[in-house]
Amino acid sequence: MAIESNLWFEEILEMQAGRTMKIKIEDLVEAYDSKFQRIEVYKTRPFGKMLVLDGVIMLTEWDECGYHEMLAHVPMFAHPRPENICIIGGGDGGTMKEVLKHKTVKTVDICEIDGDVIRLSQKHFPELASSFDDSRVTVHTADGAKFVAENKNAFDIILVDSSDPIGPAEVLFSEEFYMDMKEALREDGIAVTQSESFFYHESIVAKLTGFAKKHYAAPSYYYTMVPTYPSGMIGFTFCSKKYDGLKDFDDTRTASMQDSLNYYNPDIHRGAFALPQFVRRKINF
């Protein structure tokens, strides 16, 4: 559960690692123990409302755009015509909100194991979770790994909007899951997975990018800035069966959407793939 001391929030996992960021809390809006995890919604002084799962920050209203826009739009603009989309996790609706901005999208299957995350997000984060009301969306309250394994050759894009590799999300960081994603994608499909911080989680990044190199024709890794996440950034493994995240990026399609975005733009897209030297040595694409 979350740690509160004089109305300050600190992530338990980061404290155990010997580092911390404290966020001033004005109120605990709601706390609920679901079948899978403890779900908390806080009102913070600097960052607006904040969603926390098992003591780990999932999003704040202030900086969610850095995560959701980059998870969604980088692969969506690298693929020439993304129509059928799968989102694993993402129960807050933020990634799906961004996906649905693309006019080519015909269907979105979102598979969130914990229906209570969806319910509480609809209650407390309607600006994100209103995406669940779109007629193109089908919600599956089920295990994401099993859902991917059961759907072959079904999707143009798979987006894995997962929590950290503990508890119900642990299976999403396995090689078997990366192989199943490949089978679930169409012949030119792209999968992108939440892949932690290269400052704090080098071994996880190396493992996941290793799966991508082994099983996908055009693998890469990119990152975004999210101040309330550990180290202030988070990365994504780009797993593509055909399209390169940079060479096949069509920036002409971004213009009509730019007014609805707060973080993503064509320059950010390109720059996100420029990695520090120590990361290049570690993942060696």
Is residue 161 part of the annotated active site? The answer reads yes
Say what the alpha-carbon torsion angle 171, 174, 177, 182 is, to the nearest 10 degrees.
Answer: 160
Position 1 scores a pLDDT of: 44
Tokens of 267: 């320059």
Cα gap 129→214, rounded to integer Å: 35
Beta bridge partners of residue 48, listed in sequence order: 44
Position 112 scores a pLDDT of: 97
Position 17 scores a pLDDT of: 83
CB of 89 closer than 8 Å to CB of 81: no
DSSP 225-239: E-TTSGGGEEEEEEE
Per the residue annotation, which of 114, 156, 161, 164 is the catalytic one? 161
The secondary structure element, H or E, covering residue 155 is: strand 155-161
Residue with tokens 């024709």: 217
Q: At what angle do helices 202-215 and 175-184 cross, to 10 degrees?
A: 40
Position 239 scores a pLDDT of: 98
pTM over 0.85: yes
Cα gap 49→29, rounded to integer Å: 9
Backbone phi and psi for residue 260, each to the nearest 5 degrees, phi listed first:
-95, 5
Tokens of 284: 């060696």
Cβ count within 10 A of residue 186? 17
- What is the side-by-side strand order in the sheet with 23-33? 3-4, 8-10, 23-33, 38-44, 48-53, 56-60
Cα gap 11→13, rounded to integer Å: 6
Cα gap 23→143, rounded to integer Å: 32
Q: What is the pLDDT along the chain (285 residues), one digit of tens a residue?
A: 455 457 899 987 788 888 988 999 999 999 999 999 999 999 999 999 999 999 999 999 999 999 999 999 999 999 999 999 999 999 999 999 999 999 999 999 999 999 999 999 999 999 999 999 999 999 999 999 999 999 999 999 999 998 666 666 788 889 999 999 999 999 999 999 999 999 999 999 999 999 999 999 999 999 999 999 999 999 999 999 999 999 999 999 999 999 999 999 999 999 999 999 999 998 877
What distance separates the 2 farthest-apart alpha carbons in the chain?
Answer: 54
Cα gap 200→81, rounded to integer Å: 35
Q: What is the DSSP letter of 69?
A: H
Tokens of 127: 């600006």
Position 166 scores a pLDDT of: 66
Beta bridge partners of residue 190, listed in sequence order: 157, 240
Residue with tokens 């997962």: 162
Residue ranges of domains in the chain, CATH in brackets: 3-60 (2.30.140.10), 64-283 (3.40.50.150)
Tokens of 44: 């913070």
List of long-range contacts for 7-15, beta carbons under 8 Å, 24+ apart = 9/42, 9/44, 9/50, 9/52, 11/55, 11/56, 11/57, 11/230, 12/55, 12/56, 13/55, 13/56, 13/164, 14/230
